[in-house]
Chains A and B, each alone.
Chain A
Amino acid sequence: AAGVIQSPRHLIKEKRETATLKCYPIPRHDTVYWYQQGPGQDPQFLISFYEKMQSDKGSIPDRFSAQQFSDYHSELNMSSLELGDSALYFCASSLGQGRDNQPQHFGDGTRLSIL
């Protein structure tokens, strides 16, 4: 079965650079979520989109922005990167929103390292 696809798998950047992470949800899934998982930490919710509109917002820095496109894929844009942004970034997708009791399915993540 098709899963959530994230690209790239690994990304190395320097401080103050920009990065774009991409997420392709499971076909027919209309909701996308972004999470950040620091070393030894549990995943922290950043932002979500339902039917191409932002639906919820978590602890996402102002330096980050995201959007969901007409084909339902999503991109997380990160600017002025800081050392503390080094983490594993997950995208998840679901059919409907969390309150519809549909499970979130996660991609394998993008490991972002800031030098």
Chain B
Amino acid sequence: KQEVTQIPAALSVPEGENLVLNCSFTDSAIYNLQWFRQDPGKGLTSLLLIQSSQREQTSGRLNASLDKSSGRSTLYIAASQPGDSATYLCAVYGGATNKLIFGTGTLLAVQP
């Protein structure tokens, strides 16, 4: 059964700091991995999708990497801003179940 874990569960950093969020998954037979952000009581905003054949994807200040063989992904946020404060979720598609399975998220607070 695919299990997705995110560490840390919560993170507080001062504005301007670079930070890394971690995601690990137990079944490496995935099609892709997607990173989302969720603001309180809101929907999920898709940030980046990495295909299983890719090593990384970049969008603006965000860079996501994927090491499929070790079952790990990281989301790097450069020069963090208070507006980046949200819960960040990673989700994997594929493996034994053909579904998007989410991690429990990292709650990020960027202090001004």
Query: Which residues of A are at the interface with B, using a C-beta cutoff of 8 A?
Result: 4, 33, 42-45, 48, 56, 58, 88, 90, 92, 98-99, 101-109, 111
Interface residues on B, range: 20 to 34
On whether the beta carbons of A42 and B103 are closer than 8 Å, the reply is: yes
Cβ of A106: which chain B residues have Cβ within 8 Å of it?
36, 43-46
Q: Chain B: residues with CB nearer than 8 A to chain A? A: 31-32, 34, 36, 41-46, 49, 51, 89, 93-94, 98-105
A104 touches B42 (CB 8 A): no
Q: Which residues of A contact B36 (CB under 8 A)?
A: 106
Decide: B44 and A43 in contact? CB cutoff 8 A: yes
A45 with B43: CB separation less than 8 A: no
How many Å from the CB of A99 to the closest CB on chain B? 5
Find out whether the CB atom of B31 lies under 8 angstroms from the CB atom of A101: yes
Cβ–Cβ contact A42 & B94, under 8 A: no
